[in-house]
């Protein structure tokens, strides 16, 4: 084999593969419902579009500083002060092409070969693959009590002399749970004592429901940004509906940002300036767009929970944030990849197999789309799996008869 063993070991992104399959089915004219999607449906904020357009109109789209445009960095500093209660310097901030690249650059900067990174199941699909790409070893910690909430004792047991970092993602993709303050306080304290970096992936931090407030990990340390082990990752993708703009950022100690900047300069040089201008405009513009999105998603969460309650055999932990839930379908099938394929082929509903998130027997369902998609999607899944549901259904204008139960 002529390719690198490491590159060949990296799995395809399951969510991106499913998007492609859904696109192909849609092209064939099938009425596909996408409950796999990891992005809100709202349009990007007008201020962001105007910001990008005015930058484009200058015709001056050239290389810019690797670590980010000063204007965007300033907006990020303000955002950090407002939302994290931390005043950071421009040298603590680096902008990357999406939070995904931020995470890659952080891990590339931190890890020596064979260093271990603790990842809490259920986890975002990309974490283990990115750790491997940086020559590290992903160590998966699974809650033994069957909940989706991690426990400090279980994490402590997984720590070895090679543990370099732990990734925390709360609100959590894929479960939608929000980690408790007590857990965050304990884990931050433990990691700071043991010199383990805490990567706080806060990409969904404002999408929390029922009056909950997101608690930043910073709240649990008395150390300043230079001396703390906490590294914050955030971006505009999920909160502002700007997934395609590819803007994420990292807040870290200066020295680390310096090294990350060197790494990034050798890979992508800089992030496109007009996309950075758009992100800056979104961050300093009207923030009611985030609250509107949060309310819409909270309503969708209520709808999907209601639909799932009427589904015999399916158990679902109520999400407190994000736009995902992770129901347990083991009463119908253990193998989530088979189940997800079955639902796509028979009912034209896209779901993401729990296996991809370290939770076999579950499916990740997204409620970032419309209420209609959520209700119809769940009705189709019910039709495909539940023998007690009516055996005829309309999918688009086609009447479908279930003949497999």
Binding to ligand PMP by CB under 6 A, coded x per residue (else -) over 12-41, reads: --------------------------x---
Tokens of 268: 């992508």
Q: Does 205 bind ligand PMP (CB under 6 A)?
A: no
Instruction: Give the residue, chosen from 67, 192, 201, 356, that forms a contact with ligand PMP under the rule CB under 6 A.
Output: 201
Place of tokens 């932990």: 317
Q: Does 98 bind ligand PMP (CB under 6 A)?
A: yes
Instruction: Give the residue, chosen from 84, 104, 108, 124, that forms a contact with ligand PMP under the rule CB under 6 A.
Output: 124
Tokens of 389: 């549901």
Instruction: Please state the closest distance from residue 172 (CB atom) to ligand PMP, in A.
Output: 8
| C-alpha angle 116-117-120 in degrees, rounded to nearest 5 | 135
| C-alpha angle 158-164-168 in degrees, rounded to nearest 5 | 70
For 143, half-sphere exposure in the C-beta direction (CA atoms, 13 angstrom radius) is 15
d(CA 53, CA 70): 19
Stretch that binds ligand PMP, among 94-102, 108-116, 129-137, 256-264 (CB under 6 A): 94-102
Q: Which residues pair with 251 in a beta bridge?
A: 93, 232
Stretch that binds ligand PMP, among 93-101, 260-268, 298-306, 387-395 (CB under 6 A): 93-101
Determine the 3-state secondary structure of 132 from DSSP.
Answer: helix
Closest residue to ligand PMP, based on beta-carbon distance: 98
80 neighbors 251 (Cβ within 8 angstroms) = yes
Instruction: Please state the closest distance from residue 261 (CB atom) to ligand PMP, in A.
Output: 18
Q: Does 199 bind ligand PMP (CB under 6 A)?
A: no
Q: Does 232 bind ligand PMP (CB under 6 A)?
A: no
Determine the 3-state secondary structure of 177 from DSSP.
Answer: coil
Instruction: Please state the closest distance from residue 402 (CB atom) to ligand PMP, in A.
Output: 33
Q: Does 249 bind ligand PMP (CB under 6 A)?
A: no
Instruction: Give the residue, chosen from 94, 111, 203, 251, that forms a contact with ligand PMP under the rule CB under 6 A.
Output: 203
Instruction: Give the residue, chosen from 186, 215, 243, 272, that forms a contact with ligand PMP under the rule CB under 6 A.
Output: 243
Instruction: Please state the closest distance from residue 365 (CB atom) to ligand PMP, in A.
Output: 14
Tokens of 35: 């409950």
Binding to ligand PMP by CB under 6 A, coded x per residue (else -) over 155-194, reads: --------------x---x---------------------
- The count of residues in the chain is 405
Distances (CA, A) of 362 to 249, 301, 317, 324, 391: 31, 17, 11, 12, 24
Q: Which is nearer to ligand PMP, 99 or 339 (CB)?
A: 99
Stretch that binds ligand PMP, among 97-105, 141-149, 298-306, 347-355 (CB under 6 A): 97-105
* Beta carbons within 10 angstroms of residue 326's beta carbon: 24
Instruction: Please state the closest distance from residue 19 (CB atom) to ligand PMP, in A.
Output: 12
d(CA 231, CA 104): 13
Q: Does 264 bind ligand PMP (CB under 6 A)?
A: no
Tokens of 47: 């201020």
Stretch that binds ligand PMP, among 55-63, 64-72, 98-106, 344-352 (CB under 6 A): 98-106
Q: Which is nearer to ligand PMP, 122 or 347 (CB)?
A: 122
d(CA 265, CA 63): 11
Instruction: Give the residue, chosen from 99, 168, 283, 314, that forms a contact with ligand PMP under the rule CB under 6 A.
Output: 99
Alpha helices in 351-402 (DSSP H): 371-385
Counting Cβ atoms within 10 Å, is residue 333 exposed (0-12), middle (13-18) or buried (19+)?
Answer: middle
Which segments within 328-370 are labelled E, that is strand? 349-350, 352-353, 363-366
Question: Residue numbers of the site for ligand PMP (CB under 6 A)?
Answer: 38, 98-100, 124, 169, 173, 201, 203, 235, 237, 243, 248
């Amino acid at each position: 084999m002529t390719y690198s063993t490491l590159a060949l070991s990296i799995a395809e992104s399951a969510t991106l593969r499913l998007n492609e399959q859904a696109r192909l089915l849609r092209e064939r004219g099938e009425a596909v419902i996408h409950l796999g999607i990891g992005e809100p449906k709202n349009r990007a904020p007008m201020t962001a579009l105007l910001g990008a357009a005015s930058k484009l109109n200058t015709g001056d789209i050239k290389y810019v500083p690797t670590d980010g445009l000063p204007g965007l960095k300033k907006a990020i500093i303000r955002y950090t002060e407002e939302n994290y209660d931390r005043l950071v310097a421009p040298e603590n901030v680096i902008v990357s092409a999406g939070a995904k690249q931020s995470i890659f650059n952080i891990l590339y900067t931190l890890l020596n070969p064979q260093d271990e990174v603790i990842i809490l199941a259920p986890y975002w699909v990309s974490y283990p693959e990115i750790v491997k790409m940086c020559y590290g070893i992903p160590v998966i910690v699974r809650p033994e009590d069957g909940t989706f909430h991690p426990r400090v004792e279980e994490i402590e047991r997984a720590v070895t002399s090679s543990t370099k970092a732990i990734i925390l993602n709360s609100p959590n993709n894929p479960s939608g749970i929000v980690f408790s303050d007590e857990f965050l306080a304990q884990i931050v304290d433990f990691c700071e004592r043991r010199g383990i970096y805490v990567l706080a992936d806060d990409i969904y931090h404002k999408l929390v429901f029922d009056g909950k407030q997101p608690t930043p990990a910073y709240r649990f340390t008395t150390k300043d940004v230079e001396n703390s082990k906490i590294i914050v990752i955030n971006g505009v993708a999920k909160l502002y509906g700007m997934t395609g703009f590819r803007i994420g950022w990292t807040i870290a100690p200066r020295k680390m940002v310096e090294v990350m900047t060197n790494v990034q300069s050798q890979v992508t040089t800089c992030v496109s300036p007009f996309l950075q201008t758009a992100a800056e405009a979104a961050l300093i513009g009207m923030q009611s767009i985030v609250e509107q999105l949060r309310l819409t998603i909270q309503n969708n969460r209520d709808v999907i929970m209601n639909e799932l309650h009427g589904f015999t055999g399916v158990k679902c932990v109520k999400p407190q944030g994000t736009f995902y839930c992770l129901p347990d379908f083991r009463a119908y099938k253990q193998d989530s990849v088979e189940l997800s394929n079955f639902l796509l082929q028979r009912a034209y509903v896209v779901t993401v197999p729990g296996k991809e998130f370290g939770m076999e027997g579950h499916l990740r369902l997204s409620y970032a789309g419309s209420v209609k998609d959520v209700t119809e999607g769940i009705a189709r899944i019910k039709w495909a799996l539940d023998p007690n549901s009516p055996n005829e259904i309309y999918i688009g204008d086609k009447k479908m008869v279930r003949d497999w139960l």
